[in-house]
A and B are shown apart, each in its own frame.
Chain A
Amino acid sequence: ETGVTQSPTHLIKTRGQQVTLRCSSQSGHNTVSWYQQALGQGPQFIFQYYREEENGRGNFPPRFSGLQFPNYSSELNVNALELDDSALYLCASSFTGSGEKLFFGSGTQLSVL
C-alpha cells in the first residue's frame, strides 16, 4: 500500500454534470499529481500541484481544475462532463516538486452516462 487514498472508489454521473474527486497524499509528500487512465491505456497527465499551486499541466481543457490544501490533500474537479471523461482517475504523490517517483492511489472509476 502506498498511503495515497482516493474517494470515492466508483462514481456514476450524467453528461453535463460536475464532479469532485478527492485524494489524501502519502505522509510527508508535498506534491500531488492527477492522471486519467482510459480502459486499456496508460495514464495521462492532467496536472500537478506543489505548495498549493498548479505548477504543471497536461493537454486537458480548463474544465479540469484542481486544488491542493495545506495538509497536501487534493481535489480534482471536472465541469460539464462528457462521455469521453469516463475513465479511472488516479492521484499520485511524491516528496519532490519534480513529479518523479510517484506513488499512486487505487483511483476513482468515473462513468459518465
Chain B
Amino acid sequence: DTGVSQDPRHKITKRGQNVTFRCDPISEHNRLYWYRQTLGQGPEFLTYFQNEAQLEKSRLLSDRFSAERPKGSFSTLEIQRTEQGDSAMYLCASSGDSLGETQYFGPGTRLLVL
C-alpha cells in the first residue's frame, strides 16, 4: 500500500492558462474525492467518483473545472482559464465503499495563479 499520490506537488501558472493535476488513489479504493483548501479553512468538497463514474460535483465548482477518472484508477482535475482566486491547495482522497469509510489524503497540489 503506497498511499494516495498526487502530481505535481506545486504549480505556478499565469492567469488564463490551463492546468491539470493527477491523483493516484490507494489501489483497492473505489471512491475518489477532490477537495480544495485555502488558508484557515477546512477542505471544500469539489467532486466525487465511484469507480469511473462521477457521481457528484459541487455547485460551487464553475464550468472551468472538470475531472475525469477514465478507467476507475487514477483521476485528473483540470482547471481552464485559471484565475487568481483558484490559488489554493488541491487535495485528493480515496476510500473504500462502506458507509463511514475513512478518507485518506494525498500530499496535495499547491497552485499559485499569478
Partners in one complex: no
